[in-house]
Amino acid sequence: MAATATTHTRPTGITVGALILALAGVLAPTIAGRADAQTPVRGGTLRIGWIPDAKTLDPHFSVQFAERHVLYLVFNTLVGLDKSFNVIPELARSWQVAPDGKRVTFQLQRGVKFHDGTDFTAEVVKWNIDRILDPATKSPQRSQLEPAVAAVSVVDPYTVAFEMKKPFAPLLAALAERPGFIVSPAAVKKWGENFGQHPVGTGPFRFVDFVQDSRVTLERFDGYWEKGKPYFDKVVYHVVPDPTVRSTMVRTGEVDIATDVEAKDVPLLQADQNLRVSEMKPPARWTVLQWQVDKPPFNNKALREAIALGINREELKQVLLRGFGEVARGVATPGLWWQDPNLKGYGYNPELAKKKLAEAGYPNGFRYKFAVENTSQWIRQAELLQGQLQKINVTLDFELVNTADAYALIVQRKTNWTHTRWTQRADPHGLFYILFHSKGFANSTGYSNPKVNELLDRAAVIYEPERRKPLYHEAERLIVEDAPYVFLNYTAEFAVMSRKVQNWVWVPDLIPRFRDLWLEK
């Protein structure tokens, strides 16, 4: 850095600069084009190849991943996240945590309006949090706040305070996600249960229409509070369930950008001069196998260990991900502050796996139903797992389930053994608590380890990351060993876009922030 700085003071630097200026005259059109690329261009329509399964656009009822792609454009969260998962101001300009950790005060942005013309105030924040906390609302987001938030009080029209039952470090991260989206109280009163089909927020884009399983259309909200934003006139999400079709549509110019592109198609897309392929590094999503550990046959730990040891993760990575991504070891993906660099995870050891299988009481092999999402991608993974596990005498009988129903079946505990995948939350409490605490709302495995519960409860009330870290490391080690989940891969994620699309940034939660993009003319 220092060397570069001094170059500019040397006379030769000036000569070079003059030469570049002269060249700029000759190559005016090209250079000018590039100069324009520095400042965002307003206007145009962004067409998105969108993943399927969105059912509601009411953030307080959202459970599907696809829904979050839209929520960040229609709504604002109380606080935001940057690309390193740091909590940054959004609707709240600033905040303070009381010394005892039991009161968090937020100062709000002024002059923020909802798309329906109503004002955003402290009352609105209180109304939103009360809506989530009210058991009658039945918000799936309730369990993320309810254990810690006692009440929200209005200090003045632009100051709001969260009164806590106990210190709760994950609060801010949660308010950057689904529980933190602020909806228009007036619109909720107007639309009632249909608010999810007529969302009204303070976000940069206003909702136009939502045709289930087909498309969502948004248009620029001229009264948006962040000056100069957004850039597009219109944003259209086209539901394209097949990942290959999705990426092909970017190639043919039918859409401008697509996410959740399959690794297998990446080399082909990279070879296309008109496209840009962006890989999320380090990988931030994991794939796992899961089962119900509180009832037979998987309440048998030796059986779980046998299967975990019988999977060759390196081979999965090479064949399914074409070498992209990493072999998974535990709950935390690489690059997060709470990841344990010394965690080993289950390796591939077919001999030990066979021994464990015999120890589990299945010396002649084990055979069980395995629910697979009915898409080529997941059938391919299941077939490879089937082939690997066959070698230790474990047989999978496939039961095909609709992708849209797969997660609901898991939550209702109607599938016992299946595969799934999760993206990261901005706070370790996020995934650890919801999946592995016996009270976690997404704990679908029946996993309950008092030691893990205790560690997670203890870590949540500490605000300093350095003191929380060892607690999560210990919990993670116990979880990996108990194997309610068998970690497979940290999968590489890809977005493919036309070269005209500018300002693409990955956030480790893998939700595309389309609202910051703009299109080069």
What 8-state DSSP symbol labels residue 107?
A: E
Q: What angle do CA 58, 203, 511 make, to 5 degrees?
A: 70
How far is Cα of residue 331 from the mean position of the Cα atoms in its chain? 14
117, 157, 387, 470: residue in contact with other proteins (rule CB under 8 A): 387
- Is residue 478 a contact residue for other proteins (CB under 8 A)? no
Closer of 84 and 395 to other proteins (Cβ): 395
Phi, psi for 231 (deg, rounded to 5): -100, -35
Output the smallest distance, CB 310 to other proteins, in A: 15
- Is residue 254 a contact residue for other proteins (CB under 8 A)? no
Phi, psi for 313 (deg, rounded to 5): -70, -35
Strand 494-498 vs strand 257-259: parallel, antiparallel, or unpaired?
antiparallel
Residue linked to tokens 């939660």? 509
- Is residue 376 a contact residue for other proteins (CB under 8 A)? yes
Closer of 77 and 415 to other proteins (Cβ): 415
Choose the binding region for other proteins from 112-120, 231-239, 347-355, 381-389 (rule: CB under 8 A): 381-389
Tell me which residues in 107-146 interact with other proteins (CB under 8 A): none
Closer of 202 and 312 to other proteins (Cβ): 312
Among 295, 287, 311, 294, residue whose Cα is nearest residue 394: 311
**Residue 321 and residue 327 in contact, taking contact as beta carbons nearer than 8 Å:** no
Output the smallest distance, CB 400 to other proteins, in A: 5
Output the smallest distance, CB 376 to other proteins, in A: 5
What Rg value do the Cα atoms of the chain yield, rounded?
A: 25
- Is residue 361 a contact residue for other proteins (CB under 8 A)? no
64, 137, 153, 375: residue in contact with other proteins (rule CB under 8 A): 375
- Is residue 374 a contact residue for other proteins (CB under 8 A)? yes
Output the smallest distance, CB 228 to other proteins, in A: 41
Tell me which residues in 256-275 interact with other proteins (CB under 8 A): 262, 264-265, 268
Give the per-residue contact string, 309-338, with other proteins (x = CB under 8 A; - = no): ------x--xx-------------------
Q: Which one-letter amino acid corresponds to residue 475? A: A
Closer of 265 and 305 to other proteins (Cβ): 265
| Strand extents, DSSP E, 22-112 | 45-50, 79-81, 87-89, 92-97, 103-108
63, 186, 343, 384: residue in contact with other proteins (rule CB under 8 A): 384
Give the per-residue contact string, 228-247, with other proteins (x = CB under 8 A; - = no): --------------xxx---
**Residue 348 and residue 311 in contact, taking contact as beta carbons nearer than 8 Å:** yes
Residue 21 has which token pair? 């200026």
Burial 288-317 (b: 16+ CB within 10 A, else e): bbbbbbeeebbebeebbbbbbbbbbbeebb
H-state helical runs in 54-141: 65-74, 122-133
Among 346, 342, 344, residue whose Cα is nearest residue 469: 342
119, 219, 359, 399: residue in contact with other proteins (rule CB under 8 A): 399
Dihedral sign computed on CA atoms, order 369, 371, 375, 377: negative
Give the per-residue contact string, 188-227, with other proteins (x = CB under 8 A; - = no): ----------------------------------------
Closer of 70 and 372 to other proteins (Cβ): 372
Residue 514 has which token pair? 């389309």
**Residue 425 and residue 284 in contact, taking contact as beta carbons nearer than 8 Å:** no
| Interface residue list for other proteins (CB under 8 A) | 242-244, 248, 262, 264-265, 268, 315, 318-319, 374-377, 379-380, 382-384, 386-387, 398-400
